[in-house]
Amino acid sequence: KAGVTQTPRYLIKTRGQQVTLSCSPISGHRSVSWYQQTPGQGLQFLFEYFSETQRNKGNFPGRFSGRQFSNSRSEMNVSTLELGDSALYLCASSLAGADEQFFGPGTRLTVL
């Protein structure tokens, strides 16, 4: 069974631009969560989607948004990028109502 895939793996943007990251969960997984990982703040929960609905949201500004498609694939978007948005963005999937999350390799975003 294929694991969680994230594209692209690396991304370089400049301040003010916007970016879209993609996550394909493990087949059969309907829950997708997004996390931001930085050296200073550690792993911070962004949001979780289940069956195309956002069920949970972390404490991030509205510049961070996401969506989930009917095939459970998810995208997250960050608008008006700031230097502080530079981070590793991790996607994790799990079965509906399950507890164990499976993580993708992440997208390394650098904002210049």
Report the candidate in 88, 85, 87, 104 with the shortest Cα–Cα distance to residue 16. Answer: 85
> Which member of 19, 21, 48, 81 binds other proteins (CB under 8 A)?
48
Distances from the Cα of 23 to the Cαs of 49, 95, 109, in angstroms? 12, 15, 14
CB of residue 76 to other proteins, shortest distance in Å: 15
How many residues does the structure list for the chain? 112
Note whether 60 binds other proteins by CB under 8 A.
Answer: no
Nearer to other proteins, 56 or 80 (CB): 56
Neighbours of 19 (CB within 10 A): 18
> Which member of 25, 50, 72, 111 binds other proteins (CB under 8 A)?
50
Note whether 43 binds other proteins by CB under 8 A.
Answer: yes
Please state, in angstroms and rounded to a whole number, the distance separating the CA atoms of residues 12 and 3.
Answer: 25
Name which of residues 72 to 111 contact other proteins (CB under 8 A): 90, 92, 94, 96-97, 99-106, 108
Nearer to other proteins, 16 or 84 (CB): 84
